Amino acid sequence: MRLRLFLPLASVLFFALPNLINAQTATLKEIQADGLKKLTEEQVISLSGLSTGSQVGRKELQDAADALVRSGLFAKVSYNFTTHNDALTLTFHLDENPRLPVSYDNFPWYADSELGDAIRKDLPLYDGTLPEGGAVVEQAANSLQAFLAAHGTNVQIVHAVLLSPLTDGSFQQFRVEGVAPQIASMEFSDAHLKESPTVQQHLPEILGKPYSHLAIDVFLAEAIRPVYQEDGYLRAKIGPAEVRLSGNPSQKLPEQIPVYVPCQPGPVYHWNGVEWGGNQVLSAITLTTTLGLKPGDVADGMIIEMGWDRIREEYGQRGHMEAKLTPTATYDDQAHTVSYAVLITEGPVFHFNQMTITGMSLAGERLIREAWPAKPGDVFDKKVFEQFLNRLEIHRDTIFKDLPLHYDTVGHWLQTDPAKATVDVLLDFK
Protein backbone atom coordinates (compact mmCIF):
# COMPACT_ATOMS: atom_id res chain seq x y z
CA MET A 1 0.00 0.00 0.00
CA ARG A 2 1.46 3.28 -1.03
CA LEU A 3 0.83 6.62 0.64
CA ARG A 4 0.30 9.73 -1.39
CA LEU A 5 -0.16 13.22 0.03
CA PHE A 6 -1.42 16.05 -2.15
CA LEU A 7 -1.70 19.81 -2.03
CA PRO A 8 -4.47 21.44 -4.05
CA LEU A 9 -3.28 22.93 -7.30
CA ALA A 10 -5.33 25.64 -8.97
CA SER A 11 -4.89 28.82 -10.89
CA VAL A 12 -6.74 32.05 -10.28
CA LEU A 13 -7.34 34.44 -13.14
CA PHE A 14 -9.45 37.55 -13.22
CA PHE A 15 -10.38 40.16 -15.75
CA ALA A 16 -10.62 43.60 -14.17
CA LEU A 17 -12.62 46.39 -15.77
CA PRO A 18 -11.55 50.02 -15.70
CA ASN A 19 -14.46 51.09 -13.49
CA LEU A 20 -13.34 48.99 -10.51
CA ILE A 21 -9.76 49.90 -9.65
CA ASN A 22 -7.68 50.72 -6.64
CA ALA A 23 -9.90 51.33 -3.60
CA GLN A 24 -13.18 51.82 -5.47
CA THR A 25 -16.06 49.56 -4.47
CA ALA A 26 -19.42 48.59 -5.86
CA THR A 27 -22.53 46.87 -4.54
CA LEU A 28 -22.47 43.16 -5.28
CA LYS A 29 -25.77 42.55 -7.04
CA GLU A 30 -25.44 39.00 -8.32
CA ILE A 31 -23.02 36.04 -8.17
CA GLN A 32 -22.97 33.42 -10.90
CA ALA A 33 -20.84 30.34 -11.53
CA ASP A 34 -20.32 28.16 -14.58
CA GLY A 35 -18.44 24.92 -15.25
CA LEU A 36 -20.05 23.17 -12.29
CA LYS A 37 -20.54 19.40 -12.22
CA LYS A 38 -21.37 18.39 -8.64
CA LEU A 39 -21.56 21.70 -6.82
CA THR A 40 -24.37 24.24 -6.98
CA GLU A 41 -24.06 28.01 -7.33
CA GLU A 42 -25.31 28.39 -3.76
CA GLN A 43 -22.49 26.18 -2.50
CA VAL A 44 -19.91 28.14 -4.50
CA ILE A 45 -21.22 31.40 -3.07
CA SER A 46 -20.99 30.02 0.46
CA LEU A 47 -17.41 28.85 -0.14
CA SER A 48 -16.40 32.22 -1.56
CA GLY A 49 -17.50 34.10 1.56
CA LEU A 50 -19.30 36.72 -0.51
CA SER A 51 -22.88 37.85 -0.12
CA THR A 52 -25.07 39.94 -2.37
CA GLY A 53 -25.72 43.46 -1.20
CA SER A 54 -22.22 43.88 0.25
CA GLN A 55 -19.65 46.43 -0.94
CA VAL A 56 -16.78 44.81 -2.82
CA GLY A 57 -13.60 45.95 -4.48
CA ARG A 58 -10.79 44.12 -6.22
CA LYS A 59 -9.41 42.84 -2.91
CA GLU A 60 -12.70 41.24 -1.86
CA LEU A 61 -13.10 39.58 -5.25
CA GLN A 62 -9.56 38.25 -5.19
CA ASP A 63 -9.99 37.00 -1.62
CA ALA A 64 -13.12 35.15 -2.68
CA ALA A 65 -11.31 33.50 -5.60
CA ASP A 66 -8.44 32.55 -3.28
CA ALA A 67 -10.93 30.98 -0.86
CA LEU A 68 -12.30 28.81 -3.67
CA VAL A 69 -8.77 27.69 -4.52
CA ARG A 70 -7.95 26.90 -0.90
CA SER A 71 -11.07 24.75 -0.62
CA GLY A 72 -9.36 22.13 -2.80
CA LEU A 73 -12.56 21.62 -4.79
CA PHE A 74 -11.37 23.40 -7.94
CA ALA A 75 -8.53 22.78 -10.38
CA LYS A 76 -9.03 26.21 -11.97
CA VAL A 77 -10.71 29.38 -10.79
CA SER A 78 -11.20 32.50 -12.85
CA TYR A 79 -13.73 35.29 -12.73
CA ASN A 80 -14.96 38.40 -14.46
CA PHE A 81 -17.52 41.04 -13.57
CA THR A 82 -19.62 43.78 -15.04
CA THR A 83 -20.83 46.94 -13.36
CA HIS A 84 -23.83 49.13 -14.00
CA ASN A 85 -24.71 52.17 -11.89
CA ASP A 86 -22.34 50.99 -9.13
CA ALA A 87 -23.98 47.53 -9.06
CA LEU A 88 -21.65 44.60 -9.81
CA THR A 89 -22.44 41.19 -11.31
CA LEU A 90 -19.70 38.62 -10.65
CA THR A 91 -19.21 35.39 -12.59
CA PHE A 92 -16.86 32.62 -11.48
CA HIS A 93 -15.52 30.27 -14.16
CA LEU A 94 -14.67 26.99 -12.45
CA ASP A 95 -13.16 23.59 -13.19
CA GLU A 96 -13.93 21.15 -10.39
CA ASN A 97 -11.31 18.75 -9.07
CA PRO A 98 -12.16 15.04 -9.03
CA ARG A 99 -13.31 13.72 -5.68
CA LEU A 100 -12.41 10.52 -3.88
CA PRO A 101 -14.58 8.24 -1.74
CA VAL A 102 -14.04 8.69 1.99
CA SER A 103 -13.18 5.87 4.38
CA TYR A 104 -13.30 6.07 8.20
CA ASP A 105 -10.62 3.54 9.00
CA ASN A 106 -10.64 2.97 12.75
CA PHE A 107 -13.84 4.50 14.13
CA PRO A 108 -15.50 1.22 15.18
CA TRP A 109 -17.74 2.83 17.83
CA TYR A 110 -19.81 4.86 15.36
CA ALA A 111 -21.64 4.07 12.14
CA ASP A 112 -20.38 5.64 8.95
CA SER A 113 -23.69 7.49 8.71
CA GLU A 114 -23.07 9.16 12.09
CA LEU A 115 -19.60 10.26 11.05
CA GLY A 116 -20.91 11.53 7.72
CA ASP A 117 -23.59 13.54 9.49
CA ALA A 118 -20.95 15.05 11.78
CA ILE A 119 -19.03 16.31 8.75
CA ARG A 120 -22.18 17.45 6.95
CA LYS A 121 -23.20 19.54 9.94
CA ASP A 122 -20.24 21.85 9.28
CA LEU A 123 -19.81 21.12 5.57
CA PRO A 124 -23.27 20.83 3.97
CA LEU A 125 -21.85 20.01 0.54
CA TYR A 126 -20.31 16.76 1.84
CA ASP A 127 -21.68 13.74 -0.04
CA GLY A 128 -19.27 10.99 1.03
CA THR A 129 -16.52 12.21 -1.29
CA LEU A 130 -13.77 14.79 -0.91
CA PRO A 131 -10.94 16.17 -3.05
CA GLU A 132 -7.34 15.09 -2.52
CA GLY A 133 -6.57 18.07 -0.31
CA GLY A 134 -7.59 21.56 0.67
CA ALA A 135 -9.63 23.41 3.27
CA VAL A 136 -12.70 21.17 2.94
CA VAL A 137 -10.61 18.12 3.85
CA GLU A 138 -9.24 19.91 6.90
CA GLN A 139 -12.77 20.98 7.82
CA ALA A 140 -13.94 17.37 7.61
CA ALA A 141 -11.09 16.26 9.90
CA ASN A 142 -11.92 19.03 12.37
CA SER A 143 -15.59 18.05 12.34
CA LEU A 144 -14.73 14.43 13.13
CA GLN A 145 -12.40 15.51 15.90
CA ALA A 146 -15.09 17.75 17.42
CA PHE A 147 -17.66 14.93 17.16
CA LEU A 148 -15.40 12.54 19.08
CA ALA A 149 -14.54 15.21 21.65
CA ALA A 150 -18.25 15.81 22.24
CA HIS A 151 -18.52 12.09 23.03
CA GLY A 152 -15.66 12.26 25.53
CA THR A 153 -12.79 11.12 23.31
CA ASN A 154 -10.02 13.63 22.73
CA VAL A 155 -7.92 12.33 19.86
CA GLN A 156 -6.12 13.54 16.78
CA ILE A 157 -7.66 12.90 13.37
CA VAL A 158 -5.24 12.39 10.48
CA HIS A 159 -6.00 11.91 6.82
CA ALA A 160 -4.18 10.70 3.72
CA VAL A 161 -4.91 9.74 0.14
CA LEU A 162 -4.21 6.03 -0.38
CA LEU A 163 -4.18 3.78 -3.39
CA SER A 164 -6.81 1.11 -2.89
CA PRO A 165 -5.34 -2.41 -2.75
CA LEU A 166 -8.68 -3.79 -4.00
CA THR A 167 -9.57 -1.44 -6.87
CA ASP A 168 -7.76 0.71 -9.38
CA GLY A 169 -8.71 3.95 -7.65
CA SER A 170 -7.68 5.99 -4.64
CA PHE A 171 -9.59 7.04 -1.55
CA GLN A 172 -9.43 9.63 1.22
CA GLN A 173 -8.81 7.90 4.53
CA PHE A 174 -9.47 9.38 7.98
CA ARG A 175 -7.83 7.74 10.99
CA VAL A 176 -7.90 8.23 14.74
CA GLU A 177 -4.57 8.59 16.49
CA GLY A 178 -4.24 8.09 20.22
CA VAL A 179 -6.46 5.03 20.66
CA ALA A 180 -5.78 1.42 19.70
CA PRO A 181 -8.94 -0.68 19.39
CA GLN A 182 -8.29 -4.32 18.53
CA ILE A 183 -10.28 -6.91 16.59
CA ALA A 184 -11.47 -9.30 19.31
CA SER A 185 -13.52 -11.67 17.15
CA MET A 186 -14.85 -12.14 13.64
CA GLU A 187 -18.13 -13.95 13.08
CA PHE A 188 -19.61 -14.89 9.70
CA SER A 189 -23.31 -15.24 9.00
CA ASP A 190 -22.74 -18.19 6.66
CA ALA A 191 -22.25 -21.63 8.23
CA HIS A 192 -20.11 -22.60 5.22
CA LEU A 193 -17.45 -20.18 6.44
CA LYS A 194 -17.92 -20.95 10.10
CA GLU A 195 -17.12 -24.60 9.48
CA SER A 196 -14.33 -24.08 6.96
CA PRO A 197 -10.90 -25.25 8.22
CA THR A 198 -9.32 -22.79 5.79
CA VAL A 199 -11.15 -19.87 7.38
CA GLN A 200 -10.16 -21.02 10.86
CA GLN A 201 -6.57 -21.25 9.69
CA HIS A 202 -6.63 -17.65 8.42
CA LEU A 203 -8.44 -16.00 11.34
CA PRO A 204 -5.29 -15.57 13.49
CA GLU A 205 -4.02 -13.27 10.75
CA ILE A 206 -6.63 -10.67 11.73
CA LEU A 207 -7.70 -11.42 15.33
CA GLY A 208 -5.91 -9.37 17.95
CA LYS A 209 -4.69 -6.92 15.32
CA PRO A 210 -5.48 -3.18 15.42
CA TYR A 211 -8.99 -2.48 14.17
CA SER A 212 -8.83 -1.12 10.63
CA HIS A 213 -11.61 -0.90 8.08
CA LEU A 214 -9.01 -1.23 5.31
CA ALA A 215 -7.26 -4.22 6.91
CA ILE A 216 -10.58 -6.03 7.31
CA ASP A 217 -11.54 -5.39 3.67
CA VAL A 218 -8.18 -6.71 2.47
CA PHE A 219 -8.48 -9.77 4.72
CA LEU A 220 -11.96 -10.59 3.42
CA ALA A 221 -10.81 -10.18 -0.18
CA GLU A 222 -7.55 -12.11 0.07
CA ALA A 223 -8.29 -14.77 2.69
CA ILE A 224 -12.07 -15.31 2.73
CA ARG A 225 -13.29 -14.69 -0.82
CA PRO A 226 -11.03 -17.45 -2.25
CA VAL A 227 -12.83 -19.96 0.00
CA TYR A 228 -16.03 -19.16 -1.84
CA GLN A 229 -14.36 -18.88 -5.23
CA GLU A 230 -12.76 -22.31 -5.17
CA ASP A 231 -16.14 -23.93 -4.41
CA GLY A 232 -17.84 -22.21 -7.33
CA TYR A 233 -19.61 -19.45 -5.39
CA LEU A 234 -18.46 -16.90 -7.96
CA ARG A 235 -20.97 -14.20 -7.04
CA ALA A 236 -20.81 -14.48 -3.27
CA LYS A 237 -21.42 -11.23 -1.41
CA ILE A 238 -19.13 -10.72 1.56
CA GLY A 239 -19.62 -7.81 3.95
CA PRO A 240 -19.35 -4.99 4.47
CA ALA A 241 -18.18 -5.89 7.95
CA GLU A 242 -20.20 -4.60 10.88
CA VAL A 243 -19.35 -3.75 14.47
CA ARG A 244 -21.98 -4.89 16.96
CA LEU A 245 -21.21 -3.36 20.33
CA SER A 246 -23.31 -3.79 23.43
CA GLY A 247 -23.31 -1.92 26.70
CA ASN A 248 -23.73 1.68 27.80
CA PRO A 249 -22.56 3.97 24.95
CA SER A 250 -21.84 6.75 27.45
CA GLN A 251 -19.19 4.67 29.17
CA LYS A 252 -15.56 4.42 28.11
CA LEU A 253 -15.24 3.26 24.52
CA PRO A 254 -14.36 -0.44 24.33
CA GLU A 255 -10.96 -1.40 23.03
CA GLN A 256 -11.92 -4.98 22.07
CA ILE A 257 -14.08 -4.89 18.95
CA PRO A 258 -16.30 -7.79 17.80
CA VAL A 259 -16.71 -7.87 14.02
CA TYR A 260 -19.66 -9.44 12.24
CA VAL A 261 -19.51 -10.22 8.50
CA PRO A 262 -22.81 -10.80 6.67
CA CYS A 263 -22.38 -13.19 3.73
CA GLN A 264 -24.61 -14.34 0.90
CA PRO A 265 -22.89 -17.20 -0.96
CA GLY A 266 -25.43 -17.48 -3.76
CA PRO A 267 -25.49 -20.51 -6.11
CA VAL A 268 -22.61 -22.76 -7.15
CA TYR A 269 -21.74 -22.12 -10.79
CA HIS A 270 -20.50 -24.67 -13.31
CA TRP A 271 -18.23 -24.09 -16.29
CA ASN A 272 -19.96 -23.66 -19.65
CA GLY A 273 -16.99 -22.89 -21.88
CA VAL A 274 -14.95 -20.01 -23.25
CA GLU A 275 -14.70 -18.17 -26.55
CA TRP A 276 -11.42 -16.59 -27.59
CA GLY A 277 -10.86 -13.51 -29.69
CA GLY A 278 -7.77 -11.69 -30.95
CA ASN A 279 -5.47 -14.71 -30.65
CA GLN A 280 -3.11 -15.59 -33.51
CA VAL A 281 0.00 -17.00 -31.87
CA LEU A 282 -1.89 -19.54 -29.74
CA SER A 283 -4.84 -21.51 -31.11
CA ALA A 284 -8.21 -21.69 -29.37
CA ILE A 285 -7.54 -25.37 -28.63
CA THR A 286 -4.21 -24.57 -26.97
CA LEU A 287 -5.75 -21.74 -24.95
CA THR A 288 -8.66 -23.88 -23.76
CA THR A 289 -6.34 -26.75 -22.83
CA THR A 290 -4.04 -24.36 -20.95
CA LEU A 291 -7.00 -22.93 -19.05
CA GLY A 292 -7.77 -26.43 -17.77
CA LEU A 293 -11.56 -26.47 -17.28
CA LYS A 294 -14.12 -28.67 -19.01
CA PRO A 295 -17.86 -28.01 -19.47
CA GLY A 296 -19.75 -29.18 -16.41
CA ASP A 297 -16.84 -28.69 -13.99
CA VAL A 298 -17.47 -26.64 -10.86
CA ALA A 299 -16.33 -23.15 -11.86
CA ASP A 300 -13.47 -22.85 -9.39
CA GLY A 301 -12.69 -19.14 -9.40
CA MET A 302 -9.11 -19.72 -8.26
CA ILE A 303 -8.47 -22.20 -11.08
CA ILE A 304 -9.95 -19.69 -13.53
CA GLU A 305 -7.59 -16.94 -12.33
CA MET A 306 -4.60 -19.30 -12.41
CA GLY A 307 -5.64 -20.29 -15.92
CA TRP A 308 -5.47 -16.69 -17.12
CA ASP A 309 -2.00 -16.47 -15.53
CA ARG A 310 -0.83 -19.64 -17.30
CA ILE A 311 -1.96 -18.24 -20.62
CA ARG A 312 -0.04 -15.03 -19.97
CA GLU A 313 3.00 -17.18 -19.16
CA GLU A 314 2.58 -19.04 -22.46
CA TYR A 315 2.69 -15.73 -24.28
CA GLY A 316 5.63 -14.60 -22.17
CA GLN A 317 7.64 -17.63 -23.28
CA ARG A 318 7.11 -16.50 -26.85
CA GLY A 319 8.29 -12.94 -26.28
CA HIS A 320 4.85 -11.37 -25.95
CA MET A 321 5.72 -9.46 -22.78
CA GLU A 322 2.72 -7.16 -22.95
CA ALA A 323 0.01 -9.66 -23.87
CA LYS A 324 -3.28 -8.69 -22.23
CA LEU A 325 -6.36 -10.78 -21.48
CA THR A 326 -9.75 -9.14 -21.06
CA PRO A 327 -12.17 -11.81 -19.74
CA THR A 328 -15.90 -11.03 -19.67
CA ALA A 329 -18.13 -13.41 -17.73
CA THR A 330 -21.71 -14.26 -18.68
CA TYR A 331 -23.79 -15.88 -15.93
CA ASP A 332 -26.85 -18.03 -16.55
CA ASP A 333 -28.76 -17.73 -13.29
CA GLN A 334 -31.31 -20.34 -14.37
CA ALA A 335 -28.81 -23.09 -15.20
CA HIS A 336 -26.20 -21.76 -12.72
CA THR A 337 -23.46 -21.80 -15.34
CA VAL A 338 -20.81 -19.30 -16.34
CA SER A 339 -19.13 -18.81 -19.69
CA TYR A 340 -16.41 -16.39 -20.73
CA ALA A 341 -15.55 -14.35 -23.78
CA VAL A 342 -11.84 -13.49 -23.66
CA LEU A 343 -10.32 -10.81 -25.86
CA ILE A 344 -6.56 -11.23 -26.23
CA THR A 345 -4.24 -8.40 -27.24
CA GLU A 346 -1.03 -10.24 -28.01
CA GLY A 347 1.20 -7.22 -28.58
CA PRO A 348 4.65 -7.27 -30.20
CA VAL A 349 7.38 -9.89 -29.79
CA PHE A 350 10.15 -8.56 -27.53
CA HIS A 351 13.82 -9.43 -27.97
CA PHE A 352 16.62 -9.47 -25.42
CA ASN A 353 18.83 -6.38 -25.60
CA GLN A 354 21.31 -6.28 -22.70
CA MET A 355 21.90 -7.15 -19.04
CA THR A 356 22.95 -4.64 -16.37
CA ILE A 357 24.44 -6.05 -13.14
CA THR A 358 25.13 -4.06 -9.96
CA GLY A 359 26.46 -5.07 -6.54
CA MET A 360 28.48 -8.02 -7.86
CA SER A 361 32.23 -8.59 -8.16
CA LEU A 362 33.79 -8.62 -11.62
CA ALA A 363 34.45 -12.35 -11.35
CA GLY A 364 30.87 -13.02 -10.31
CA GLU A 365 29.50 -10.81 -13.10
CA ARG A 366 31.55 -12.73 -15.66
CA LEU A 367 30.08 -16.05 -14.47
CA ILE A 368 26.54 -14.63 -14.57
CA ARG A 369 26.95 -13.48 -18.17
CA GLU A 370 28.43 -16.86 -19.15
CA ALA A 371 25.46 -18.67 -17.58
CA TRP A 372 22.80 -16.40 -19.11
CA PRO A 373 21.43 -18.38 -22.09
CA ALA A 374 20.18 -15.55 -24.33
CA LYS A 375 22.10 -13.48 -26.87
CA PRO A 376 21.19 -9.94 -27.91
CA GLY A 377 18.44 -10.19 -30.51
CA ASP A 378 17.01 -13.49 -29.22
CA VAL A 379 13.28 -13.66 -28.57
CA PHE A 380 12.90 -12.99 -24.85
CA ASP A 381 11.55 -16.00 -22.96
CA LYS A 382 10.19 -14.90 -19.61
CA LYS A 383 10.14 -18.46 -18.27
CA VAL A 384 13.86 -18.84 -18.99
CA PHE A 385 14.44 -15.58 -17.11
CA GLU A 386 12.48 -16.84 -14.07
CA GLN A 387 14.41 -20.14 -14.09
CA PHE A 388 17.66 -18.18 -14.17
CA LEU A 389 16.53 -16.12 -11.16
CA ASN A 390 15.78 -19.35 -9.31
CA ARG A 391 19.36 -20.45 -9.88
CA LEU A 392 20.72 -17.13 -8.61
CA GLU A 393 18.55 -17.22 -5.49
CA ILE A 394 18.46 -20.92 -4.55
CA HIS A 395 20.99 -22.85 -6.61
CA ARG A 396 23.91 -20.44 -6.66
CA ASP A 397 26.51 -23.14 -7.05
CA THR A 398 25.19 -23.96 -10.55
CA ILE A 399 26.41 -20.52 -11.66
CA PHE A 400 29.20 -19.45 -9.32
CA LYS A 401 30.81 -22.86 -8.65
CA ASP A 402 33.35 -22.35 -5.83
CA LEU A 403 33.55 -18.55 -6.09
CA PRO A 404 33.02 -17.09 -2.57
CA LEU A 405 30.05 -14.70 -2.61
CA HIS A 406 28.04 -12.80 -0.04
CA TYR A 407 24.58 -11.55 -1.04
CA ASP A 408 21.16 -11.96 0.54
CA THR A 409 18.77 -10.80 -2.15
CA VAL A 410 18.68 -10.33 -5.90
CA GLY A 411 16.70 -7.32 -7.05
CA HIS A 412 15.45 -7.87 -10.58
CA TRP A 413 13.60 -5.80 -13.16
CA LEU A 414 12.67 -6.15 -16.78
CA GLN A 415 12.85 -2.84 -18.58
CA THR A 416 10.95 -2.91 -21.85
CA ASP A 417 11.28 -0.48 -24.73
CA PRO A 418 7.97 -0.74 -26.63
CA ALA A 419 9.25 1.41 -29.50
CA LYS A 420 12.13 -0.99 -30.17
CA ALA A 421 10.40 -4.11 -28.77
CA THR A 422 13.45 -4.91 -26.64
CA VAL A 423 13.96 -6.01 -23.02
CA ASP A 424 16.82 -5.07 -20.70
CA VAL A 425 17.49 -7.34 -17.71
CA LEU A 426 18.53 -5.50 -14.54
CA LEU A 427 20.03 -7.43 -11.61
CA ASP A 428 21.00 -5.85 -8.28
CA PHE A 429 22.78 -7.98 -5.65
CA LYS A 430 22.58 -6.99 -1.99
What average pLDDT does the segment 267-282 reach? 97
- The model's pLDDT over 398-421, given as tens digits with 9 standing for 90+, comes to 999 989 888 999 999 999 999 999
Find the helix or strand (DSSP H, E) in which 277 lies: strand 270-277
What average pLDDT does the segment 121-149 reach? 96
- The full set of domains in the chain, from first to last, is 3-96 (3.10.20.310), 100-177 (3.10.20.310), 183-244+256-264 (3.10.20), 270-345 (3.10.20.310), 351-429 (3.10.20.310)
Using 50, 70 and 90 to split pLDDT, how confident is the model at 21? very low
Using 50, 70 and 90 to split pLDDT, how confident is the model at 296? very high
Cβ neighbour number for residue 294 with a 10 Å cutoff: 9
* CA-to-CA separations, 420 to 80, 317, 377, in angstroms, rounded: 50, 19, 11
Looking at residue 249, its pLDDT comes to 54
- The model's pLDDT over 383-394, given as tens digits with 9 standing for 90+, comes to 999 999 999 999
Rounded to an integer, what distance in angstroms lies between the CA atom of residue 144 and that of residue 53? 34
Using 50, 70 and 90 to split pLDDT, how confident is the model at 86? confident
Looking at residue 247, its pLDDT comes to 60
Burial 151-176 (b: 16+ CB within 10 A, else e): eebeeebebbbbebeeeeebbbbbbb
Looking at residue 121, its pLDDT comes to 96
105 closest CA partner among 211, 2, 260: 211
172, 101 in Cβ contact below 8 A?
A: yes
Cβ neighbour number for residue 409 with a 10 Å cutoff: 10
Q: What is the DSSP string of 9-42?
A: --EEEEE--TTS-TT--EEEEEEEEES-SS--HH
Residues 6+ apart with CB under 8 A from 335: 270, 272
Looking at residue 251, its pLDDT comes to 62
Looking at residue 255, its pLDDT comes to 85
User: Residue 70 burial (CB < 10 Å; 0-12/13-18/19+)?
Assistant: middle
Entry pTM: 0.79
Rounded to an integer, what distance in angstroms lies between the CA atom of residue 240 and that of residue 273? 32
Query: For residue 240, is the peptide bond before it cis, meaning its omega torsion is within 30 degrees of 0?
Result: yes
Looking at residue 267, its pLDDT comes to 96
200, 272 in Cβ contact below 8 A?
A: no
Category of 232 on φ-ψ map: left (φ > 0), alpha (ψ -120 to 50) or beta: left
319, 349 in Cβ contact below 8 A?
A: yes
Using 50, 70 and 90 to split pLDDT, how confident is the model at 151? confident
Q: Reply yes or no on whether the pLDDT at 63 is more than 50.
A: yes
Find the helix or strand (DSSP H, E) in which 299 lies: none
Q: Which of 18 and 205 is assigned the larger pLDDT?
A: 205
Look at 79-88, 120-129, 263-272 and tell me which has the smallest mean pLDDT: 79-88
Rounded to an integer, what distance in angstroms lies between the CA atom of residue 151 and that of residue 164? 30
What average pLDDT does the segment 181-189 reach? 95
Using 50, 70 and 90 to split pLDDT, how confident is the model at 250? low
What average pLDDT does the segment 147-173 reach? 90
